[in-house]
Structure formats: structure tokens, C-alpha cells
Structure 1
Amino acid sequence: MVWNLDARIPVLSLPDAAGLRQALRAGPSAALLLPEGAPDIGGAVATARFQPFASHAVACACCGGRSPLAQALDRLFLERVRGTCPWFERVLALTETPDAAALLEGVLREDSVVTARFREDRGG
């Protein structure tokens, strides 16, 4: 028998707000990852927002040049483990453009801190 346990938090990329709302209603508890300027969506236990571009240089002292998307995922993770928000079992990410979806996919694959905490949810 083969066992495979991946305890990282699944992140589901959704291309529109309607799909995000539907996934949110389908349960289990979820946090939202929304681009700046997207309207608020109720029903999530936590929300983090990100800008779809790098705001600082690669060797920046405050963020080390990590993308705003990676930093938003960090905030969600820290809220979860510190208990400053209710526990969530997954993250639903609004990626309305192909560029936003590619950015999320890249962060989930290439950012070592994000990769240690989160995984792409391919099952929907």
C-alpha cells in the first residue's frame, strides 16, 4: 500500500468571481486571495490582497524581492497559525487574467517559502 500525505494548504485558482463564490459555498472553510481592486466577497474566514506586479527590487531589505502574491500568501499562513483568523482548509485565488494565473502558478512552484506551505489544487 502506498501512502501519500501532503499537508500543505491547497490553493485553487479561479478565473472569475462567480466561480470563486460557488467554490466558497461548496465548502470547506476557505481564505481568499484577491487582486487589489477586486470587490469584497463575503463568506471567507480571511482575505489577503496582492498587486499583480513586483513593487520592490530583487534584493530589497524589507521583502527580499519576493512578489506581492507570495507576501499575501505569507500573511494568510501567519494569520492561520497565529489564530488571528478562523482556521481554513484551503485558499481560493481570483486569477481573472492569464497573467495572474501564471503568476500564481509560478509562485507556487518557485518561491521556496510558499512551496513549503501551499500546493496547487488541481482537483477543483
Structure 2
Amino acid sequence: MEGDPRIPVSILPGPEALAGWLGTGGPAALLTDGAHPGTGFAAAERFAPRPLHRFGCACCSGRPAAALALGRLFQARARDPGLWFTRVAVLAASPAARQEVAAALEADAVTRARFRAG
């Protein structure tokens, strides 16, 4: 979306898509629920997805782990010019992790203010 200052987040289908994605743009960050796949990122953050239950249940009343991890990436970018990135790749091994990232981009107000699906 042109003119949108938020950082685009791309949920990749798998590690095989990573090399092509890295070659298509500027500095990138990585968000993953697994092991860090190597070099090529200005910053990286790992998260452990939580089980999804009904909205507002006692165990899920805090912000999702994916939203917190994206927040840590944003803070690192703001505090250290060496960690500057203009986009984020998500490598999520589990469907629950992909769903949690998508939900954070859609429903978490802080995440929505900083990031967008891209």
C-alpha cells in the first residue's frame, strides 16, 4: 500500500521462499517460531505461539506472543541504527504460529499501528 508508513510483514509459506523474498527489497528483519535460518537479516526475534482460545479468556487476556515479539523488533529498530529494517519476514513452522501473527496484525492495536500485512 503506497503511502502507508507502517512496516510490511510477509508470512512466508516456508524456508524455501526465504532466499527469493530477501532478494526483492531492502533491509529485512525475521520473526520466527523456530531456529534462526542464518544471515541476511538486520534483526531477528523468536516467539513461542500460545494456544488460541476464545477472546478474553483468562489464559489469553494478555497480548499475543507474536505481537510482543514484533514489538521487540520495533524497539530494536528504534534504538539501534545498525538494526534498521524496512520489512519483516515471518517463518512460522506451525499453523498456530502463522495464525497468531496474522491475528496480531489484524487485532492488536499496537502491532497494527507499527506493522501491516505485506
Which bracket does the TM-score occupy, shorter chain normalised? Answer: 0.7 to 0.9
Moved more, 66-75 or 90-99: 90-99
TM-score, length of structure 1 as denominator length? 0.79
CA separation of 1:49 and 1:84: change in aligned 2, threshold 3 A: farther
- Secondary structure (helix, strand or coil) at the match of 1:28 reads coil
Report the aligned-residue RMSD. 2.0
Give the % identical residues.
41
Structure 2 portions without partners, runs of 5+: 52-57
Distance in 2 (CA, whole Å) between partners of 1:25 and 1:91 is 13
Residue identity matched to 1:79: A
Structure 1 portions without partners, runs of 5+: 60-64
> What is the aligned counterpart of 2:39 among 27, 42, 51?
42
Partner of 2:85: 88
- Secondary structure (helix, strand or coil) at the match of 2:83 reads coil
Q: What is the correspondence of 1:1-124 to structure 2 with a 5 Å cutoff?
A: 5-35=3-33, 37-53=34-50, 57-58=59-60, 65-83=62-80, 85-121=82-118
Equivalent pairs counted in the alignment come to 111
Distance in 1 (CA, whole Å) between partners of 2:113 and 2:25 is 24
Deviation at 1:40, TM superposition (A): 3.1
Question: Whose helix fraction is larger, Structure 1's or Structure 2's?
Answer: 2
Residue identity matched to 2:74: F
Distance in 2 (CA, whole Å) between partners of 1:28 and 1:84 is 15
TM-score, length of structure 2 as denominator length? 0.83
Distance in 2 (CA, whole Å) between partners of 1:39 and 1:9 is 21
Deviation at 1:87, TM superposition (A): 1.3
- Whether the 8 Å contact between 1:9 and 1:91 is mirrored in structure 2 is yes
Distance in 1 (CA, whole Å) between partners of 2:30 and 2:60 is 26
- Whether the 8 Å contact between 1:21 and 1:41 is mirrored in structure 2 is no
Deviation at 1:84, TM superposition (A): 5.6
Distance in 2 (CA, whole Å) between partners of 1:48 and 1:39 is 9
- Whether the 8 Å contact between 1:108 and 1:114 is mirrored in structure 2 is yes
Residue identity matched to 2:21: A
